[in-house]
Amino acid sequence: MGVMGATAASDESMPSVKIQGPYARNLAYSRLSARTWQMTVRNDWTRDEARALHDLPLTDLLFRAQEVHRATQPRDAVQLCSLLSIKTGACQEDCSYCPQSSKYDTGVEAERLMDVAEVLLKAREAKEAGASRFCMGAAWRSPKKGSRQFQQVLEMVRGVRSLEMEACVTLGMLDDEQTQELKDAGLTAYNHNLDTSEEYYGEIITTRTYKDRLDTIARVAAAGISVCAGGIIGMGESIDDRVGMLVTLANLSPQPESVPVNALVPVPGTPLGDRKPVDPLELVRMCAAARIMIPGARVRLSAGRASLSREAQLLCFMAGANSLFFGDKLLTTGNPDHDADLSLLRDAGLSALAPASDAAE
C-alpha cells in the first residue's frame, strides 16, 4: 500500500495539494475539504470488494470515480496517444481476438518491420496532430535476441524521445537484457496487457501463460520503465473475470501507470469473430472501477471506441478515462477519425494533456 502524497492545507477555499507523479505540476483543485486528505494507493484489493464497487448503482459509481479522478488527475484533460503497428501480422501467438495471429485466416497481410525513418515521420505527424505519446506495436511473441530488428526498435524509441514525446512499445515477452536496453534507449512505458482474469485466460490464449505476462510486467517495472497493462471485455468472460483482472492490476506494486480498457472488436476469422459487441455502459463501469482502484493511472480508452457514441465516450471520461488513441487505425482495427476526436474534446471543453514532464527532458 502506498500514499499518493496529497495533503490539504488550512485554506478551505483553495487548499494546496501536493501530488507526486508525472502531472504534479498540472494539478490544481478548488474543491477539497479542509481536513487532511490522502489518496491511498492500495495493493490489497479483494475480489469481493472490487465486485461490490463494480456493481454499485451507476450514478454512485460515477460519482466516486469522479471524486478520485479530480483528486489524482489533471481535470478536464485527456492524453492523446497515437498507435502505430510497426510490424504487422504473422504472429506465432494464438490470442483469440487478434487478427494478426498466424493461426487465423483474417486477411491481414503480414508486413516486415517498418523503417526507422518512416516510423519517425509518423511520430512527427502524430505530434503535430496533438499526440503526446507515440506507441509502437510489433506482432512478435518476443523480440529476437540480439537481432537487427530489435536494434531498429531501440532506434525508434530514441527517435521518438528526441521529439519530446512519450514513447511506448509493445513487443511481446522480454528478457532482462532487452528490458534494460529499452530502458537505456529512454523508453517511457511498455505495454503488456493481462487481457482478462487468470481463470479465463486459458480460454483466450494457449501459447503463453498468465505467469509469463506477469513476469514480463515485473521485469519492466523493476527496470524503472512505466507499465501499461489492461485488458479486453466482451470476450465471453464473466463479470467476476473482469473484476479479477482489475484486482490483479491494482495489486501490482507499483500499480500500472496506464490501464487500457478495451472492448472486443470482433474480427471475422478469429475465434471471437462472432461475439456480440458489449453494452457501452459495461465499458463505463470498467473505466470507473479502474479509476478508483488504480487512482494514479491514466485510464486509456482503446479498442472498441469506434463503436461508442460521443455520449458514451463522454460517460467514459466522467468515469475517469483520460487517455485515448487517435488516428485512423488501432493496430489493425478501425478507430474514430482525428477530426471527430478533436471536435468531441472541443465540444466537451476538454484539452489535450502535454507529455509527462520527464518526456520533455
- Which stretch, 4-12, 87-95, 157-165, 317-325, contacts ligand SF4 (CB under 6 A)? 87-95
Q: Which of 312, 332, 337 is nearest to 97 (CA)?
A: 332
DSSP letter assigned to residue 25: G
Which residues 108-167 are close enough to bind ligand SF4 by CB under 6 A? Answer: 139
Which residue is catalytic, options 64, 81, 135, 213?
135
Q: CB of residue 85 vs ligand SF4: minimum separation in angstroms?
A: 9
Active site residue 228: yes
Choosing from 101, 179, 248, 270, the residue that interacts with ligand SF4 (CB under 6 A) is 101
CA–CA gap between residue 179 and residue 163 (Å, rounded): 22
Which residue is catalytic, options 168, 213, 285, 298?
168
Identity of the residue, 75 or 103, whose beta carbon is nearer to ligand SF4 in the bound complex: 103
- Which stretch, 89-97, 273-281, 312-320, 334-342, contacts ligand SF4 (CB under 6 A)? 89-97
Choosing from 27, 82, 84, 93, the residue that interacts with ligand SF4 (CB under 6 A) is 93
CA–CA gap between residue 325 and residue 155 (Å, rounded): 23
Identity of the residue, 65 or 194, whose beta carbon is nearer to ligand SF4 in the bound complex: 194
Residue 100 near ligand SF4 by CB under 6 A:
yes
Q: Are 261 and 287 in contact (CB under 8 A)?
A: yes
Residue 301 near ligand SF4 by CB under 6 A:
no
**Cβ within 8 Å of residue 172, ≥6 positions away:** 93, 138, 140, 141, 142, 143
Q: Are 323 and 255 in contact (CB under 8 A)?
A: no
Identity of the residue, 61 or 86, whose beta carbon is nearer to ligand SF4 in the bound complex: 86
What is the residue-wise DSSP string for 166-235?
EEEEE-S---HHHHHHHHHTT--EEE---BS-HHHHHHH--SS-HHHHHHHHHHHHHTTPEEE--EEE-S
- Which stretch, 98-106, 117-125, 209-217, 273-281, contacts ligand SF4 (CB under 6 A)? 98-106
CA–CA gap between residue 302 and residue 263 (Å, rounded): 8
Active site residue 81: no
Give the residue numbers annotated as catalytic, written as ranges: 91, 95, 98, 135, 168, 228, 300
Q: Which residues bind ligand SF4 (CB under 6 A)?
A: 91, 93, 95, 98, 100-101, 139, 172
